């Protein structure tokens, strides 16, 4: 069995230089393909590259950006880098091509996310219906008040 690997990024002399989008894309596509399992993800420090990589995975998993940053900072501690947080925020998840053989954990998580989305849509629809009903009631009350005002004006003249 051959083990696929992504070549390590060349040594970067600038500490602030972000990771390559291509490297993150290839890595995400690799860990989402069960044909590559078992798989271990690691880097030289375990903070910046992996933290950024996992942040991009969380974006792909539809996590809230605030939650992603909290997780990144929890693991990076006082070594968190704003440039990595910005990279996570700006990373284009539409660039990722999901492989045909997705892992079970991904499939189950996506199913849960779609269920939650459907529930949110249903709730929004119900809220819109209630708002429309309330607006209709308000309009009817205004019309009744206008009619009563007209009747009162007619009887006083």
pLDDT, one tens digit per residue, over 133-143 is: 899 888 888 88
* pLDDT tens, per residue, the chain with 157 residues: 555 665 555 544 445 556 789 999 999 999 999 999 999 988 887 778 999 999 999 999 999 999 999 999 999 999 999 999 999 999 999 999 999 999 999 999 999 999 999 999 999 999 999 998 899 888 888 888 888 888 877 777 6
Q: Does this model's pTM top 0.85?
A: no
Q: Which stretches of the chain are DSSP H helices? A: 21-31, 48-60, 65-76, 82-90, 104-156
Residue 120 three-state SS: helix
Half-sphere exposure of 40 (CA within 13 A, CB side): 4
Torsion of CA 30, 11, 18, 9, to 10 degrees: -10
Q: Which CATH class is domain 1-102?
A: alpha beta
CB atoms within 10 A of CB 56: 24
Q: In degrees rounded to 5, what are phi and psi of residue 43?
A: -145, -175
Q: What is the structure's pLDDT at 144?
A: 87
Single out the residue of 152, 144, 151, 39 nearest to residue 99, CA to CA: 39
Give just the sign of the alpha carbon dihedral 143, 145, 146, 152. positive
């Amino acid at each position: 069995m051959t083990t696929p690997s992504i070549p390590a990024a060349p040594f970067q002399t600038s500490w602030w230089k972000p990771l390559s989008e291509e490297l993150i894309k290839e890595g995400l596509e690799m860990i989402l393909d069960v044909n590559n399992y078992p798989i271990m993800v690691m880097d030289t420090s375990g903070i910046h590259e992996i933290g950024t990589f996992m942040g991009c995975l969380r974006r792909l998993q539809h996590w809230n950006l605030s939650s992603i940053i909290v997780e990144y900072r929890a693991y990076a501690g006082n070594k968190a880098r704003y440039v990595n947080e910005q990279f996570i925020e700006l990373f284009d998840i539409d660039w990722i091509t999901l492989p045909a053989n997705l892992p079970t954990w991904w499939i189950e998580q996506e199913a849960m996310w779609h269920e939650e989305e459907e529930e949110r849509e249903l709730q929004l629809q119900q809220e819109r219906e209630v708002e429309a009903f309330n607006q209709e009631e308000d309009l009817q009350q205004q019309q009744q008040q206008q009619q009563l005002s007209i009747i009162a004006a007619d009887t006083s003249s």
